[in-house]
Structure 1
Amino acid sequence: MATARRVHSMTAFARTEHAYPWGTLQVEIRSVNQRYLEPHFRLPDALRELEPLLRDALRNRLARGKVECSLRFDAAEESQAPAVNTQRLAEIAEALSVVHHQVPHAGVPTTLDLLNQPGVLEAQHLDQEAIKTAAATLFEQALDELIDARAREGAKLAEMITTRLDAVSEQVATVRSLLPQILERQRTLLLERLEAAKTELDPQRLEAELVVVAQKSDVDEELDRLTAHVEEVRRQLAQKGPKGRRLDFLMQELNREANTLSSKSVVAETTRCAVELKVLIEQMREQIQNIE
């Protein structure tokens, strides 16, 4: 059975082949990212009735992806060689004996003449049930390999996303550390504008203006939501089963908070952090498109 891992990519390839006394079977499975599970099959006409069984096997093991499956069967040369129908040959020999008895001087047929008689040579009949059973088993092996490949690729994606999540957390921490400095700078700027305008405000009015400025530049709520979304992404990565759609939704939420942070930015430092956040989120989003 395939290895159980928590994050699976939708992009993978598997190929299995096995030689039997009656011929060779080959199975190839390719998968790429797709919103839903979309299987496609290319099977020999003799094995076409296997498609429902193979389709069910895919649905039981995969949740998403465009999956192309091909099955090839090459019969062994020995199985394609005609066989002599000894019973038919005996019947012809008996008939020739009667003819020879009645017409002693009749010509004797050659071996080639005998082989050309209807029914003497006939195609060998392969055991179709044995071929179908072998094909189904080989398909399961290929599917195991595909899932293992998807798991290995998924582990790499999870590692990359985790690295980006760490970077997002660092940017959030940076903005948090800047908040007291931002508020103080806003206060200084307000006082400088009042001084330049030769305007005096009573202390209560000044504090009211500072409260308004602080509210406009307050990003505590956005930072809290960014942190919560980051933790939820980490939790999803640790869960078993399909998670790509949920992660894609979380990327949208992270991007929304990053945009709000950018719109509230009043200093270059927070603008730079917001831009870096959006770059990191976009990098994660691109990779999450490949997660099952």
Structure 2
Amino acid sequence: MRVNGHSVDRSPEQAEIPVYSMTGYATAQCAVDAPDAAPEASRGAGSPVLGIELRAVNGRFLDLALRLPEELRAAEPALRERIGAAVRRGKVELRVWLEQRGDAGVRAPAVAELQKLLGAQEQVLAWLPRAQPLSVAEVLQLTQRTPPPVGEALAPLLALLDRVLADFNAARAREGERLATMLRERVAQLRALAEQAAPLVPQAVAQQRERFLQRFQEAVGALPVDAGALQERALVEAAAFAQRVDVAEELTRLQSHLTEIDHLLQRGGEVGKRLDFLIQELHREANTLGSKSSSLDLTRISVDMKVLIEQMREQVQNLE
């Protein structure tokens, strides 16, 4: 296919890989009813609620932070493995919570539970006689929290994480496509500036050659010098000037880098680091173009290029 007038190879496999942003957010919850998990509304009133929140911002490497309740701390290795398979770069935070449903029915405490609470209360009152005895509401609160064992919660937790990861990556893909569209627009603008710069150098060289020859004519009329030697010297100076201001090589490399950026955006996947390197190379060529500038127009083009490249650099920092 062709992008901005330039040929870009794109295989069917590559076309299916999106460009991911490192910024994303997703959350979901379900009711735990081992061995599977389903939306909270479809489960029994007594099922504990399991919730997951996943958020990420840009980072050089994968920096994963997990905030888990103590009951699910043993599931951390499995969670890390599942997230690491779906996310490559970025500062990622996973928060998991497990709580009793607010509309769960009140369960009558077992005799053994009441005996334990009574024994604990007697020990506290023996040392702290002014302490308040437990109320009925406090007793019910202490006896209603019955989180499932880790073994029972692991399968619903991983199933819920898969749902969250799917939403999370979909959000990252949408943001990544927006960034890729912006980068393609900047690439097109840089191509247009390069096309404006290409004819300026020959024009500047021709003008400078005329100035050298004009000075030669003036020198011949004013000084007793060898006209042939002076003309040769003027042409040598004009040739040296042409070499100093020639930016054809820089423009060729710049066009090559732009074509590679188009190719990477079409290929998708993990392109952030390679794009960052290409942005550095673009900036190098734009700087060289400015340093070799022989006219105000070429200087303006160099400045405009560097502004666009800096905008691209800011956005590339957010791509995986």
TM-score range, shorter chain: 0.7 to 0.9
Paired residues for 1:142-153 under 5 Å? 142-153=164-175
Of residues 165, 169, 179 in structure 1, which corresponds to 2:191? 169
Of residues 21, 25, 39 in structure 2, which corresponds to 1:13? 25
* C-alpha displacement of 1:202: 3.9
* C-alpha displacement of 1:11: 0.6
State the one-letter code of the partner of 2:296.
A
State the one-letter code of the partner of 1:254.
L
* C-alpha displacement of 1:192: 4.1
Matched, 1:179 2:201: yes
**Cα distance, 1:215–1:138 mapped onto 2, change above 3 Å:** same
State the one-letter code of the partner of 1:231.
T
Matched, 1:225 2:250: no
Of residues 282, 290, 303 in structure 2, which corresponds to 1:254? 282
**Cα distance, 1:17–1:162 mapped onto 2, change above 3 Å:** same
State the one-letter code of the partner of 2:168.
L
1:44–1:72 Cα contact (<8 Å) kept:
yes
1:81–1:124 Cα contact (<8 Å) kept:
no
**Cα distance, 1:14–1:4 mapped onto 2, change above 3 Å:** farther
1:27–1:72 Cα contact (<8 Å) kept:
yes
State how far apart, in whole Å, the 1-side matches of 2:178 and 2:21 are: 9
State how far apart, in whole Å, the 1-side matches of 2:146 and 2:48 are: 13
State how far apart, in whole Å, the 2-side matches of 1:70 and 1:37 are: 16
1:82–1:124 Cα contact (<8 Å) kept:
no
| Counterpart in the other structure of 2:304 | 276
State the one-letter code of the partner of 1:241.
G
Task: Write the deviation string for residues 16-57 of structure 1: whole angstroms up to 9, x where unpaired.
Answer: 122243121111111000000000000110011111111001
| Counterpart in the other structure of 2:93 | 68
* C-alpha displacement of 1:79: 7.5
State how far apart, in whole Å, the 1-side matches of 2:249 and 2:145 are: 77
* C-alpha displacement of 1:194: 4.2
**Cα distance, 1:50–1:13 mapped onto 2, change above 3 Å:** same
Segments of 5+ residues of structure 2 without an aligned counterpart are 1-14, 31-39, 113-142
Bigger Cα displacement from structure 2, 222-231 vs 191-200? 191-200
Task: Give the SS at the match of 1:63.
Answer: coil
Task: Write the deviation string for residues 122-150 of structure 1: whole angstroms up to 9, x where unpaired.
Answer: 77865423322111111111111111101
* C-alpha displacement of 1:270: 0.6
**Cα distance, 1:80–1:286 mapped onto 2, change above 3 Å:** farther
State the one-letter code of the partner of 1:131.
A
Paired residues for 1:86-97 under 5 Å? none
Matched, 1:27 2:52: yes
Task: Write the deviation string for residues 190-233 of structure 1: whole angstroms up to 9, x where unpaired.
Answer: 23444566565544333222110100010000000000110111
* C-alpha displacement of 1:181: 1.2
* C-alpha displacement of 1:242: 0.7
Pairwise CA RMSD: 2.6
State the one-letter code of the partner of 1:153.
E
Task: Give the SS at the match of 1:216.
Answer: helix
State how far apart, in whole Å, the 2-side matches of 1:79 and 1:44 are: 23
Of residues 272, 277, 291 in structure 2, which corresponds to 1:244? 272
2:201–2:294 Cα contact (<8 Å) kept:
no
1:39–1:68 Cα contact (<8 Å) kept:
yes
Segments of 5+ residues of structure 1 without an aligned counterpart are 87-121
Q: Who wins on radius of gyration, i.e. which is larger?
A: 1
Task: Write the deviation string for residues 250-277 of structure 1: whole angstroms up to 9, x where unpaired.
Answer: 0000000000000000101110110011
State how far apart, in whole Å, the 2-side matches of 1:85 and 1:278 are: 76
| Counterpart in the other structure of 2:127 | none
State the one-letter code of the partner of 2:186.
R
- When normalised by structure 1's length, the TM-score is 0.81
2:98–2:147 Cα contact (<8 Å) kept:
no
Question: In the comparison of the two structures, how many residue pairs are matched?
Answer: 258
% of aligned pairs identical?
37
